[in-house]
């Protein structure tokens, strides 16, 4: 498989070329916070408030002034402040019943938690030891007025949405959604639900998988179905998709077999770079443009499509969205398997993690690493990244790319 005349490139080279070609979508829009999840922030958000806006109690307990309580263990309770109250001033020499989130009244500077105190009617009995100025959350502990709350390029994770809300933002500026067209190619493909398969046919797994991946990324997906292995139909589909999408992602047909028409169609309708990427699984990857749209042609084998999507398409689309963090974050784990003979291609091994009693994290390889074994991607927690030419012995430290961090 693969076009032997296409250059064989490292994953880094491919990514560098794609990154250089990525132009961030220019249009921005103001959206309600409820529509902001998974969008990408278009401008820095500056706080117009301080959060929290007042010193408040971190615990249910009693508040008083440390200076006044040093020489005594008992104090009359003269005030009660709950969350949401606006207290006045605490009378000197007295204590205040206080609850979590309640403002610390003027005149108090310390909270002792209720479990450590005794109460005799309206008299507070302090424990022998307590810490002055403790259990108070200071005004501005989280955000100060004028701070940059969130930076342009931040993906609006649920936490980021919560943070924006904590600063009172009801609407925020985001980049417009990317429109991505997806097309499967192959005469053998049938859509699930379209009836039983004849011998030689398979259900199209790439289209629903890509659709799910792209939706998670916050894209507007135009699923254009499956194309037969036919040049005219492929050309026409590319033309139609280019008019309506920022990017077109196809699977299959990117080799140079007689039945592979994507390359020829793309050369006719736009511009094409076809690379053999020195990775396993993966290999052929087409990249180019049709009109204004970017074109990304992935291999047909479902695992190869999945892996090349994660390594190249997702970071590329993130770059188009203006997201600051596009790359993959690996962490070291112990290999629960060996690779005795070096491979000239960088290998991404589907693996599942276990944590041993000593706290070490081990990655166990799925027994079937074939590029058609999609069940391995469901079983796995992520990919072990084995550099080209590397020999791995069991127990060696290897980089692991978690699917969670990849958004799947």
State in angstroms the smallest separation of the CB of 56 from ligand AMP. Answer: 56
State in angstroms the smallest separation of the CB of 1 from ligand AMP. Answer: 6
- C-alpha distances (whole Å) from 289 to each of 26, 244, 308 are 18, 13, 18
Residue whose C-alpha is closest to residue 98's, from 115, 116, 83: 83
User: Which residues fall within 8 angstroms of residue 220, CB to CB, at 6 or more apart?
Assistant: 177, 178, 179, 180
- Contact between 299 and Mg ion per CB under 5 A: no
Among 189, 221, 237, 365, binds ligand AMP (CB under 6 A): 189
Cis ω before 281 (30° cut-off from 0): yes
- Contact between 282 and ligand AMP per CB under 6 A: no
- Contact between 204 and ligand AMP per CB under 6 A: yes
- Contact between 188 and ligand AMP per CB under 6 A: yes
User: Is the separation of the CB atoms in 356 and 394 below 8 Å?
Assistant: no
Give the whole-angstrom CA distance, residue 171 versus residue 182: 31
Residue whose C-alpha is closest to residue 249's, from 260, 233, 238: 238
DSSP conformation letters of 323-356? -S--S---EEEEESS-B-S--SSEEEEEEEEEE-
State in angstroms the smallest separation of the CB of 228 from ligand AMP. Answer: 11
Binding mask of the shown chain, residues 229 to 258, with x at each position contacting Mg ion by CB under 5 A? -----------------------xx-----
- Residue 33 three-state SS: helix
Please identify, using beta-carbon distances, which residue of 129 and 198 lies nearer to ligand AMP.
198
Tell me the window of 6-14, 67-75, 249-257, 263-271 that interacts with ligand AMP (CB under 6 A): 249-257
Interacting partner of 68 out of Mg ion, ligand AMP, none (Cβ under 5 to 8 A depending on kind): none
Site for Mg ion in 169-188 (CB under 5 A): 186
Size of the site for ligand AMP (CB under 6 A): 17
- C-alpha distances (whole Å) from 196 to each of 29, 190, 192, 250 are 45, 9, 9, 24
- C-alpha distances (whole Å) from 31 to each of 34, 149, 314 are 8, 17, 23
Please identify, using beta-carbon distances, which residue of 183 and 273 lies nearer to ligand AMP.
183
- Contact between 60 and ligand AMP per CB under 6 A: no
Give the whole-angstrom CA distance, residue 395 versus residue 383: 16
Among 154, 206, 250, 377, binds ligand AMP (CB under 6 A): 206
- Contact between 184 and ligand AMP per CB under 6 A: yes
Q: Name the helix (H) or strand (E) containing 269.
A: helix 262-269
Residue carrying the six token digits 């925020």: 172
Interacting partner of 270 out of ligand AMP, Mg ion, none (Cβ under 5 to 8 A depending on kind): none
State in angstroms the smallest separation of the CB of 305 from ligand AMP. Answer: 7
User: Which residues fall within 8 angstroms of residue 16, CB to CB, at 6 or more apart?
Assistant: none
State in angstroms the smallest separation of the CB of 380 from ligand AMP. Answer: 18
- Residue 134 three-state SS: coil
- Residue 163 three-state SS: helix
- Contact between 252 and ligand AMP per CB under 6 A: yes
State in angstroms the smallest separation of the CB of 383 from Mg ion. Answer: 24
Give the whole-angstrom CA distance, residue 235 versus residue 267: 9
Please identify, using beta-carbon distances, which residue of 154 and 301 lies nearer to ligand AMP.
301
Interacting partner of 221 out of Mg ion, ligand AMP, none (Cβ under 5 to 8 A depending on kind): none
- Contact between 308 and ligand AMP per CB under 6 A: no
State in angstroms the smallest separation of the CB of 2 from Mg ion. Answer: 13
- Contact between 186 and ligand AMP per CB under 6 A: yes
Q: Residue numbers of the site for ligand AMP (CB under 6 A)? A: 184, 186, 188-189, 202, 204-207, 251-253, 255, 299-302
User: Which residues of this chain interact with Mg ion, rule CB under 5 A?
Assistant: 186, 252-253, 300
């Amino acid at each position: 498989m693969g076009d032997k005349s296409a250059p064989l490139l490292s994953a880094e080279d491919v990514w560098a070329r794609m990154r250089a070609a990525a132009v961030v979508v220019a249009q921005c829009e103001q959206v309600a916070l409820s529509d902001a999840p998974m969008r990408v922030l278009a401008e820095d958000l500056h706080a117009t408030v301080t959060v929290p806006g007042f010193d408040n109690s971190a615990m249910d307990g009693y508040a008083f002034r440390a200076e006044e309580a040093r020489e005594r263990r008992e104090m009359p309770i003269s005030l009660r402040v709950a969350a949401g109250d606006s207290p006045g001033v605490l009378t000197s020499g007295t204590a205040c019943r206080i609850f979590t989130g309640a403002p610390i009244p003027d005149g108090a500077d310390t909270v002792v938690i209720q479990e450590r105190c005794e109460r005799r009617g309206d008299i507070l009995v302090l424990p022998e030891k307590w810490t002055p100025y403790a259990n108070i959350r200071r005004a501005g502990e989280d955000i100060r007025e004028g701070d940059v709350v969130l930076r342009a390029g931040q993906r609006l994770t649920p936490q980021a949405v919560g943070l924006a809300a904590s600063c009172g933002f009801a609407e925020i500026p985001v980049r417009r959604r990317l429109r991505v067209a997806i097309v499967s190619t192959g005469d053998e493909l049938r859509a699930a639900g379209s009836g039983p398969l004849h011998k030689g046919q398979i259900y199209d797994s790439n289209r629903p998988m890509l659709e799910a991946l792209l939706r998670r990324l916050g894209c507007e997906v135009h699923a254009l179905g499956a194309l037969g292995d036919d040049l005219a139909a492929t050309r026409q589909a590319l033309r139609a998709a280019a008019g309506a999408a920022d990017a077109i992602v196809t699977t299959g047909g990117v080799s140079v077999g007689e039945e592979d028409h994507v390359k020829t169609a793309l050369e006719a309708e736009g511009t094409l770079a076809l690379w053999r990427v020195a990775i396993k699984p993966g290999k052929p990857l087409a990249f180019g443009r049709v009109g204004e749209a970017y074109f990304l042609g992935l291999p047909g084998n479902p695992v190869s499509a999945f892996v090349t999507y994660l390594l190249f398409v997702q970071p590329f689309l993130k770059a188009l969205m203006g997201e600051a963090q596009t790359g993959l974050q690996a962490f070291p784990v112990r290999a629960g398997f060996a690779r005795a003979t070096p491979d000239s291609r960088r290998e991404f091994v589907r693996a599942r993690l276990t944590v041993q009693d000593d706290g070490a994290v081990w990655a166990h390889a799925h027994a079937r690493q074939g590029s058609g074994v999609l069940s391995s991607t469901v079983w796995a927690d992520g990919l072990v990244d084995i550099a080209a030419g590397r020999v791995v012995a069991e127990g060696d430290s290897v980089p692991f790319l978690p699917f969670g961090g990849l958004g799947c």
